[in-house]
Amino acid sequence: MSASVLHRRFERERVLTPGPFDERRRALDAFLTAGFPTRRDEAWRYTDLKPIAEGDFDVPPREVDAAVRERVRALLADVAAADAGDAAARIVVVDGRLDEALSRLDGSAGLEIVRLAPEQTADGRRGAAPHPLALLNRAFASDGVTLRTARGADVAGPVELFLVASGEGRIAQHPRVAVELGEGSRLDVVVHCVDAGNAEGWLNVVFDVTQHEDSRLALHRLQEHGARLHHTSLLRADVGRNATFVAGYADLGARVARNDIDVRLAAPGARADVFGVFVAAPGRHVDDEVYIEHAARETASDTAFRGIADRTGRGVFRGKVLVQRDAQKVDARQKSDNLLLAEQAEIDTRPELEIYADDVKCSHGATVGEIDADQMFYLRSRGVDEQNARALLTFAFANRLLARLAPERLRERATRLVAGQLPAPPAWEDVE
Amino acid sequence: MLRIENLHVEVESKPILKGLDLEVRAGEVHAIMGPNGSGKSTLTQVLAGREDYVVTAGTALLDGRDLLAMSPEERAAAGLFLAFQYPIEIPGVNNAYLLKAAMNAQRRARGQPELDAFEFMKLIGAKLELMQMSRDFLRRSVNEGFSGGEKKRNEILQMLMLEPRLALLDETDSGLDVDALKVVANGINSLRSPERSMVLVTHYERLLELVVPDYVHVLANGRIVKSGGRELARELDERGYDWIQAEAAAS
């Protein structure tokens, strides 16, 4: 999308969602000074944004169409029914617009949900380098929410957030989600990125997380877009004293998926557990980039990702752990394991440590391999045929981290989707 | 049941089995003993269908069918079972799932109806008890983090569930204490029947006190150099293998 196209889109968005626009225009101008990153930019070396940059995606309509709403309603019943009653709130964003008819925003005890006015959106943590797609999100962020927990609140049930591509038109949507956890509070957020129909377009979401002392946030996200949707996400988290941040990502769809997770452990006792699983089916591209900054002493992080690529599927994991000079007694772990199902498949993995303190415990490791021949022989010697044995071992590989997804319904859905992408899906019903 | 003639096998271009003959009839239990590196494990692996073992000459028939032409899973469906010397760990796949997948794959291959979850659980309850294993064990990943003894018990549990026609047990007794050895031997003995045969590969005589074989063979340098009855195992236990190798060299 050229500068003139983006300007035209921007003017349309301005008419559709009136309000103060100066901040947003500044973000657009800042984005346009460099434009879409290319593979010459180190941070984008492994992911080509051309399909997005040249996508000529439109801004979404102002309101969710009634027919689309019914389609989304049916989809939600299918993907989230069992949990609906337990959820603390349900937020449904369709093509970038929050749909209040499908959502339940009244929240529960200790949880406040505020629909964002575009001008209110924060822009990631202080001092962080501007992320080009976050700038574009800021310019076009047509909707979003802030979730805020009260001091000491233990919110019962997860907040379910659905980011839906309706399949109507070719839309670029830029929702924003801010999460602020009060001191000593706990919150679970489930993010479900899904298509209602054969959607073609781009979803570019920004999560902005602030955690105060002793709080605990768990954010689990399942991305299951179809083959014509592009997905980019940026999550920035600022984690305070003795607070714990947990993120679990499953990327099982999209044509191009790129996720940036950027965590700052700002005060002693802060902890981050970040894990993810991706399956890059033929023709798909998934890129997970995890950056963890240990800015204070006695902070801990554990990053674990597992990737699978089949035939023309392509996967990327890059992780960086930065330990600042005064951040002594840090415990940081980083692991990336990858499985190639065919010769042409490719996964690039680069875990990195950058340490300026001297009293730290850090480890990192990466593996890229094929299915283990001894395990294959063992299964086949028990009568399991070759195709099923391969599927079972592939599944088992992913399941090591999928098993950490929560709540159970999300885990089960992710599990079924992974099994369904395998050459011979194992019948994964439980035996007990 | 099993007839092996003139079997030659190479591993990484190195000859390991050099003209092995063995016949096992229905209902018989044979023990194969021999020094390290004589080819005992190679024999069991090649019979189970391990791909990197190359058969350069000879035949192996199971119930008259050419075993060496079959895939590992076809051999399993035909009734062959190998209890591994070093059972493989499979993180992420639990024992119950493997057992059920294996049983149903074999049943499908034989044209039998699959077991449902209820039938499966009923069947496994008694076998777990016999092997003195707790039910939690079914939820654990296959062999992952198991002690040596647990792994061996797990192999026998699988054998009890799969009820093979021909069981090959590769050093199932190694690494077991006296109590565990008794449990494993009980498991093996419970499966002895006139229609079923077993080949026990072992270093030690002590398993053969508990699972009494009909025949004992000595494998040395890739061939069976001496065969006898139960008493041969005792003699080997007392005298070692040198005298047999000397005898074989002389003849």
Tens of pLDDT along A166-188?
988 899 999 999 999 999 999 99
**In sequence order, what DSSP letters do the residues of B41-62 get, joined into one string?**
HHHHHHHHT-TTEEEEEEEEEE
Whether the predicted pLDDT of A111 surpasses 80 = yes
Task: Quick: pLDDT tens for A209-220.
Answer: 999 999 999 999
Cβ–Cβ gap B117/A382 under 8 Å: no
Mean pLDDT of chain A: 90
Cβ–Cβ gap B76/A383 under 8 Å: yes
Question: CB contacts < 8 Å between A and B, how many?
Answer: 92
Whether the predicted pLDDT of A432 surpasses 50 = no
Cβ–Cβ gap A380/B49 under 8 Å: yes
Cβ–Cβ gap B50/A377 under 8 Å: yes
C-alpha A312/C-alpha A126 separation (Å) is 39
- Percent of chain B's residues with pLDDT above 90: 77
Q: Crossing angle, helix B148-162 and helix B95-109, to 10 degrees?
A: 30
Which positions in chain A touch B52 (Cβ < 8 Å)?
373
Cβ–Cβ gap A432/B96 under 8 Å: yes
Interior angle at CA A312, CA A309 and CA A314, nearest 5: 50
pLDDT category of residue A125 using cuts at 50, 70 and 90? very low
pLDDT category of residue B248 using cuts at 50, 70 and 90? confident
Polymer length of chain B: 251
Which positions in chain A touch B102 (Cβ < 8 Å)?
379, 382-384
pLDDT in the model for residue A428 = 44
**In sequence order, what DSSP letters do the residues of B147-214 get, joined into one string?**
-HHHHHHHHHHHHHHH--SEEEEESTTTT--HHHHHHHHHHHHHT--TT-EEEEE-S-SHHHHHS--S
Q: In B, what residues contact A, Cβ < 8 A?
A: 48-52, 71-73, 75-77, 81-82, 84, 87-88, 90-93, 96-98, 100-103, 105-106, 109, 117, 120-121, 138-139, 141, 158, 162
Cβ–Cβ gap A388/B82 under 8 Å: no
Cβ–Cβ gap A374/B82 under 8 Å: no
pLDDT in the model for residue A83 = 55
C-alpha A151/C-alpha B44 separation (Å) is 66
pLDDT category of residue B249 using cuts at 50, 70 and 90? confident
Query: Number of helices and strands (H, E) in chain B?
Result: 9, 12
By the 10 Å C-beta count (0-12 exposed, 13-18 middle, 19+ buried), B56 is classed as exposed
pLDDT category of residue A129 using cuts at 50, 70 and 90? low
Q: In Å, how far is A306's CA from the nearest CA of chain B?
A: 13
Whether the predicted pLDDT of B102 surpasses 50 = yes
b (16+ CB within 10 A) / e for B78-97? bbbbbbbbebbbbebbbbbb
